[in-house]
A and B are shown apart, each in its own frame.
Chain A
Amino acid sequence: MSAASTVWQRNPVLAWREITGSAVIISPAESVMHELNGTGSVVWRMLDGQTTVEQIAARLCTEFDVSEETALQDTSSLLEELAALKLILPAQAAGGAKGATAP
């Protein structure tokens, strides 16, 4: 299963907030904080379990001066990192914490 072919969603156990344009994320189990920069935060916002990687990359192309190929490559790379850190889950597997679903 590659990052590019999967629809992802934020891990519902996480605490997170956008603070001055950056997504600040806390994993309760490990008590570890992560932060994404502005561009990464745009991706984070779109990880709703419905938006495909291609759609995310297309959005980046419209918001930033970047080619479609680069956007897709960088998005896939970021998603792989986020998945390795268990900050995102494949949408179909994201049962998540009861009561901790997206509003």
Chain B
Amino acid sequence: MSLAAPMPGGCAKGPTPLMDGVVSRTVRRHLPFGVHFDLTYRCNERCVHCYLDHEDYGELTTAEILAVLEQLAEAGTLLLTFSGGEIFLRPDLFEILEEARRRHFDVSLKTNALLVTPQKAARLRELGVRRVQISIYSDDPAVHDAVTKVPGSLERTLAAIPLLQAEGLHVKIACPLMTENLASFPGVLALAERLGVSYIFDPTITPMIDGNAEPLAHRVSGTELLPVLQEPKLRGCRPESVDASALPVSVGSASSSGIERDAYDDLPCSAGQNTCYISPYGDVYPCVQLPVAAGNLRRERFADIWSGSAALERVRAVRQSQLPVCSACSIRKYCERCPGLALMEGGDLVGAYERACELAEVKARLDGVADAVSELHRRQRATQPPMPFAESAASAAAAR
């Protein structure tokens, strides 16, 4: 008889065979392995690109949240990320964390850290919180504070990092990239290295959760992103050069659970397969970037929503190889197509959308692909009537 020795594996150091095995099983069995739970949309910053409205329309009560945690534990959730809004604005945060740890969740937090004190950092450590992800937009206070609209916010956020590190917590810097702070990325990179923390740069700026497109004005173009994509330290942005043993530095989605792996095979992502999102009002979505309501935890139990939602079933049925346009794309390996953004920006869960095509083409060109044109753009060009010579010449003259 073998009791099988435990197999150590790194869950913070990129993909591992062990992690892949666990993730594969949860995908195959549709177990909600990871859950992103926003405790509030209220916030003490007013970031220019934010997709939330910062109001409280009736957040889940403490008792309701504790009941949800019980249901998630029963359903098999292990990885639990609490985010917001700003989670430290919930006066019951530590009560929630205590219950989460009592139920043996692996707990990560996302915060701006403005309200972190030595006492709170110590309590997080006592409770066994594993990781704290902190948003930083620049190493230049003028740039960071202009994004958050809170004077002094960079100074306060940076002051919290050593407090958390002193308690042995893993700190990760998340830096959304937008027009306001694109030039700051080398400084944030150097800052993270100086502090000894991991980091992620993310050019994903999404519409507001209600569909309002205003945040998109802050997006940088694919061409403007070239210096970031060419940075050798951000290897994660190039599909062929991901090193499984690399430290978790990457360009990717801020909403990523960090468990995207080959285990997903022909699936677009983890959303609805083995991860989901819960809003402060108890709405269950496949992902924070895929606001297709699957159910509400004030009316239904989590297990019933997870196993019985028609919306989740639709999301789960999507296969990369069957996408009507993208499956034929010659540069699809450079593409980080997001089903949620496809729905929000293109109106079609299985459709192609402009932003993904633009970034894929930039990455493909960087990799030396001669004909770096997405299938969407190829079809658009094929259906455009050829421009009459006289009009073409006039356009060229006007352009000069």
Choose one: B2, B11, B127; the contact of A99 (CB below 8 Å): B127
Cβ-Cβ contact count across A and B, 8 Å cutoff: 132
Chain B's nearest CB lies how many Å from the CB of A44? 9
- Residues of A near B2 (CB, < 8 A) are 37, 39, 74
Which of A1-9, A27-35, A46-54 interfaces with chain B?
A27-35
CA distance A35 to B21 in the complex (A): 10
Given contacts A28-B129, A31-B11, A66-B1, contact A99 B22 (CB under 8 A): no
Residue A90 at the B interface, CB < 8 A?
no
Residue B97 at the A interface, CB < 8 A?
yes
Given contacts A74-B2, A99-B102, A101-B102, contact A19 B126 (CB under 8 A): no
- Residues of A near B82 (CB, < 8 A) are none
- Residues of B near A35 (CB, < 8 A) are 6-7, 9, 18, 21-22
Which of B26-34, B85-93, B319-327 interfaces with chain A?
B26-34
Residue B104 at the A interface, CB < 8 A?
yes
Choose one: B104, B128, B129; the contact of A17 (CB below 8 Å): B104
Asked whether, in the complex, the Cβ of A25 is within 8 Å of the Cβ of B101, the reply is no
CA distance A78 to B3 in the complex (A): 7
Asked whether, in the complex, the Cβ of A71 is within 8 Å of the Cβ of B1, the reply is yes
Asked whether, in the complex, the Cβ of A31 is within 8 Å of the Cβ of B9, the reply is no
Asked whether, in the complex, the Cβ of A34 is within 8 Å of the Cβ of B9, the reply is yes
Smallest CB gap from B33: residue in A? A19
Q: Chain B, 249-283, contact with A by CB distance < 8 Å: what is the 0/1 string? A: 00000000000000000000000000000000000
Given contacts A35-B18, A99-B97, contact A19 B5 (CB under 8 A): no
CA distance A34 to B25 in the complex (A): 15
Asked whether, in the complex, the Cβ of B101 is within 8 Å of the Cβ of A99, the reply is yes
Asked whether, in the complex, the Cβ of A19 is within 8 Å of the Cβ of B130, the reply is no
- Residues of B near A74 (CB, < 8 A) are 1-3
Chain B interface bracket (under 10, 10 to 19, 20 to 34, 35 or more): 35 or more
Chain A interface bracket (under 10, 10 to 19, 20 to 34, 35 or more): 35 or more
Given contacts A99-B98, A100-B101, contact A36 B4 (CB under 8 A): yes
Asked whether, in the complex, the Cβ of A33 is within 8 Å of the Cβ of B18, the reply is yes
Residue B215 at the A interface, CB < 8 A?
no
Residue B8 at the A interface, CB < 8 A?
yes
CA distance A19 to B126 in the complex (A): 26
**Contacts of B210-242 to chain A: CB distance below 8 A:** none
CA distance A78 to B101 in the complex (A): 25
CA distance A28 to B170 in the complex (A): 9
- Residues of B near A66 (CB, < 8 A) are 1
- Residues of B near A64 (CB, < 8 A) are 1
Asked whether, in the complex, the Cβ of B18 is within 8 Å of the Cβ of A15, the reply is no
Residue A82 at the B interface, CB < 8 A?
yes
Q: Chain A, 74-95, contact with B by CB distance < 8 Å: what is the 0/1 string? A: 1101100110010100000000
- Residues of B near A82 (CB, < 8 A) are 6
> 9 smallest A-B Cβ distances: which pairs?
A31-B12, A15-B106, A99-B98, A37-B4, A28-B130, A33-B11, A17-B78, A100-B101, A34-B6
- Contacts A35-B9, A40-B4, A40-B6 known; 17 new A-B pairs at CB < 8 A: A15-B107, A19-B78, A28-B107, A31-B12, A32-B9, A32-B12, A33-B9, A33-B18, A40-B3, A60-B1, A77-B3, A81-B6, A85-B6, A98-B98, A99-B102, A102-B102, A103-B103
Chain A residues within CB distance 8 Å of chain B:
12-20, 24-26, 28-29, 31-37, 39-40, 43, 60, 64, 66, 70-71, 74-75, 77-78, 81-82, 85, 87, 97-103
